[in-house]
Amino acid sequence: MKKFHLPMKIMFSDCDPAQLVFYPKYFQWFDVATQRMFNELGMEWSKFWPDRGISGLPLVDASATFKGPARMDDEIEIVSWVEEWRGKIFIVRHDVIKDGEIIVEGKEVRACVVKDTENSKGIRAEAVPEDVISRFE
């Protein structure tokens, strides 16, 4: 499995008044890291989705385990990978690393959805294409 690395420096705008990273920022960074994985493999979402008729890769579940803090001016790295492909959904893992230690473990469960005009919600889940999965291996 391929792992992807996103180095970051914690800025004041990432923090709460105690200068600790405000926890929703981690979920924003996980989303960015997931999109960057696809981009790095030549599947920029702005082109890839329309070319494949995909409406998006929405979150159906997200969680994080916080093991340590990050503060303003800390250097961190988010290491991300697809842990599992399950037909219409896939699981992305994210480790936030500071000074060689994992301080946050994140998990996203995402679905592959396409437009469906016959469905009252306008979308339906569809299996992730095999050629997409193969790029991650």
Q: Pick the catalytic residue: 16, 51, 61, 73?
A: 16
How many CB atoms within 10 Å of residue 114?
15
CA torsion, ordered 64, 85, 46, 6, to nearest 10 deg: 40
Q: Which helix (H) or strand (E) holds 81?
A: strand 75-86
Residue 135 CB burial class (10 angstroms; 0-12, 13-18, ≥19): middle
Sign of CA dihedral 9, 7, 32, 103: negative
Residue 95 a catalytic site member: no
The three state secondary structure string of 3-28 is CEEEEEECCHHHECCCCEECCHHHHH
Which active-site residues does the annotation give?
16
